[in-house]
A and B are shown apart, each in its own frame.
Chain A
């Protein structure tokens, strides 16, 4: 904001502020009640509540910093604003440092993804779709918490698109390479998952499972655990690439404006560094959100692993089984339980559970049937995290008088659903979204996340090109003054 700006808030008076504070307290009270009530019933619900409260912190931070990866890519290409891309790089650096410390304690829950071109393809489809929706997977959750019904449509379409995509066969089966089918058939899968039927099953068993996962610290052969975690995983796989990206972002999108405003500074490295630092600290809200997200995401891994040790489990499926909630467990009696910040898979589970209740069998596949299950959303700890991201964001929006229930127009709803479907397809092909396939991977020594990010950036760039064309065409027809 410029100096001397007149900043007024008309009508958002003390009464409205008080009412919103009460509403925020009610949301917090609800989550506290859930935590206390379920704990009173069975202490093992603590595992669920851990996910819940980390989700709540993520939701508050995301809303506070307007933290959204769709915004990071889109605003760079569409309006030349690097604010969010910078915030994300800050979060990457911090999350990687905390992750390295957690890895050293032996309590990391992270599992690397295989390294392959699928990450670029999935990232590109996801990135293209998220330009249309107005938010990434996490951005849509926090915007739902702000009262945006279009963001809720994104979450729903993303969830149902995934649930249907992993089970669909028919014409898609004809696109499966014969090598995938042969490799999948050779895996000796249980007959219930009918592994040679369905595009996604053969993609997983016949392609993904044949790829190798890489952890940079291990691949470089560091003997010292400290060097493996902090030099290999954090410094080389996260901090150096993030710093290089910040230099590129500065050179392309920030430097010109900074030097124009600081003509009095002598040219040289000191001025360039001052400009770079000015970019990093330009948006305090985004930087603070990045800081909290990075630290909390690392601590969550430690907490979930500590709880797994406490309850003597390695997957929440064992806990659910012991607690008598056997509905929706996978063939291996497991459920999706990453142990860290994740978004899309649990939402796909929720959608699949609804489809199942409506009479559709979507469990005859690897994704749900063999690995993740479709537990009742009330007993899905990871889905508790998604709900509480919305709750945390709602609390922050209420406290800042920014909550507003907004229903979309038909145009916005169409963009939301179309983009959400593309994001769902991209997330499944890329084995995760902007969080699971990027944020959680690059910060834990897994380079596959950078491939996803490259695809997401390329898809985002293409999406912005398309969107610009669409808006210009629309305005040429509708706006009296044209554009």
Chain B
């Protein structure tokens, strides 16, 4: 299994790090966001709750907006982050 980083459309990307535990999801997210241009969005798919706290704080510190947070019944989280 590998982390999946794909382009969904114009200015929209997806990073899937399901199955990964700390610190993988937050490091992958940081690296993915570094690749994005301002205004582009990253849909982040993960299932490690404690990574969510770190990613949320990281977005706050760096000024990126989490525009949507969805959690499904399988405890998978889908967050959409817009790069500042």
Name A residues whose Cβ lies closer than 8 Å to a Cβ of B: 1-2, 4-13, 16, 66, 68, 70-71, 74-75, 78-84, 131, 134-135, 143, 146, 148, 150-151, 253-254, 257, 260-261, 282-283, 285-286, 397, 401-404, 406, 408-409, 411-412, 464, 467-468, 471-472, 474-475, 478-481, 483
CB-based nearest A residue for B78 = A10
Distance in angstroms from B79 CB to nearest chain A CB is: 9
Contact sample, A vs B, 5 pairs, CB 8 Å cutoff: A6-B67, A79-B26, A80-B61, A478-B2, A481-B7
Q: Mark B20-60, 1 if CB is under 8 A from A, else 0.
A: 11111011111110110000000000010110011111111
Establish whether residues A467 and B27, one from each chain, have CB atoms under 8 Å apart when the complex forms. yes
Does the CB pair A79–B50 fall under 8 Å?
no
A7 to B62, CA, bound (A): 20
Asked if A131 and B23 sit within 8 Å, CB to CB, the answer is: yes
Q: Which of B13, B23, B61, B72 has the most CB of A within 10 A?
A: B23
* A13 closest partner in B (C-beta): B73
**Inter-chain contacts of B34 with A (CB < 8 A):** 483
Whether B5 pairs with A483 at a CB distance below 8 angstroms is yes
A78 touches B23 (CB 8 A): yes
CA distance A479 to B5 in the complex (A): 6
Residue among B22, B32, B34, B70 having the largest count of chain A Cβ atoms under 10 Å: B22
A10–B54 CA distance with the chains assembled, in angstroms: 22
Assess the A480–B5 pair: CB atoms within 8 A: yes
The complex places the Cα of A13 from the Cα of B73 at a distance, in Å, of: 8
Query: Are A2's CB and B66's CB within 8 A?
Result: yes
Interface majority SS on B: helix, strand, loop or mixed? mixed
Contact: A71 with B50, CB < 8 Å?
yes
The answer on a CB contact under 8 Å between A134 and B57 is: no
Cross-chain contact B71 with A10 (CB below 8 angstroms): yes
Choose one: B19, B27, B55, B73; the contact of A12 (CB below 8 Å). B73
In the docked arrangement, what's the CA distance between A7 and B75, Å? Answer: 14
How far, in whole Å, are A467 and B22 apart by their CA atoms in the complex?
12
Report yes or no: B47 in contact with A79, Cβ–Cβ below 8 A.
Answer: no
A285 cross-chain contacts in B, Cβ below 8 A: 53
Q: Do residues B75 and A1 form an inter-chain contact, with CB atoms below 8 A?
A: no
Closest chain-B Cβ to A259's Cβ sits at a distance in Å of 12
Given contacts A6-B69, A81-B58, A481-B7, contact A404 B47 (CB under 8 A): yes
Q: Which residues of B contact A478 (CB under 8 A)?
A: 2-3
Given A9-B71, A12-B71, A479-B4, residue A260 in contact with residue B19 (CB < 8 A)? no
Closest 5 CB pairs of A and B: A11-B73, A134-B22, A134-B21, A2-B65, A404-B75
Given A254-B61, A402-B49, A467-B27, are A479 and B68 also a contact pair (CB < 8 Å)?
Answer: no
In the complex, which residue of chain A has the Cβ closest to the Cβ of B80? A6
In the bound assembly, the distance between CA atoms of A78 and B22 in angstroms comes to 11
Q: Give the chain A neighbours of B73 by CB distance below 8 A.
A: 10-13, 16
Question: Closest Cβ of chain B: how far from A88's Cβ, in Å?
Answer: 14
A7 near B63: Cβ-Cβ < 8 Å:
no
Tell me the minimal C-beta distance from B44 to chain A in angstroms. 13
Is B9 in contact with chain A by the CB < 8 A criterion?
A: no
Q: A282-B57, A479-B5 are in contact. Are A78 and B30 (CB under 8 A)?
A: yes
Partner of B62, one of A8, A135, A257, A483: A257
Determine whether the beta carbon of B1 is less than 8 Å from that of A1.
Answer: no
User: Which chain B residues border A70 with CB–CB below 8 Å?
Assistant: 22-23
A405 closest partner in B (C-beta): B75
B71 to chain A: which residues have CB within 8 Å?
Answer: 8-10, 12, 401
A1 lies within 8 A of B72 (CB) = no
**How near does chain A come to B17, taking the closest CB pair, in angstroms?**
11
